């Protein structure tokens, strides 16, 4: 599983929670690093933040969809927009997780896609 968030603290917390629940996790802190990881390794799930400094998760989502393999992408965001989940789904996201979220919500969304 790949976790991408430019807030390193949030990225570390999400990775730690997932590891505690038995997932193998790689973390990256920007969209370019996420795309490089997807080119080099196969991941079944990527948790991707919407706001990534110079780019956004929708751009990365679209580029990830152009790669040969299929990774299930869960977009997460603290950005309050009613149409963001719909736009993410149109670009191929498999789920949306609004921030802040409960640990149980994270595990539920991930569990549905990691199988």
Check residue 67 and report its DSSP letter.
S
Domains and CATH numbers, the chain: 2-114 (3.40.50.2300)
Residue 79 has pLDDT above 90, yes or no: no
Q: What angle do CA 80, 29, 87 make, to 5 degrees?
A: 35
Q: What is the mean pLDDT of residues 87-111?
A: 93
Q: Classify residue 80 by burial, with Cβ atoms within 10 Å: 0-12, 13-18, 19+.
A: exposed
Predicted local distance difference test score (pLDDT) of residue 34: 95
Q: What is the mean pLDDT of residues 96-111?
A: 93
pTM, entire model: 0.93
Predicted local distance difference test score (pLDDT) of residue 114: 73
Predicted local distance difference test score (pLDDT) of residue 36: 95
Distance CA 83, CA 61 (A): 16
Residue 20 has pLDDT above 80, yes or no: yes
């Amino acid at each position: 599983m790949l976790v991408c968030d430019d807030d390193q603290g949030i990225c570390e917390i999400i990775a730690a929670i997932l590891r505690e629940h038995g997932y193998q996790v790689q973390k990256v802190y920007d969209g370019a690093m996420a795309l490089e990881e997807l080119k080099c390794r196969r991941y079944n799930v990527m948790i991707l933040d919407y706001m990534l400094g110079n780019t956004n998760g929708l751009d990365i989502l679209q580029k990830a969809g152009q790669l040969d393999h299929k990774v299930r992408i869960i977009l997460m965001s603290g950005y309050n927009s009613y149409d963001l989940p719909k736009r993410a789904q149109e670009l191929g996201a498999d789920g949306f997780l609004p921030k802040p979220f409960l640990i149980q919500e994270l595990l539920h969304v991930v569990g549905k896609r990691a199988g």
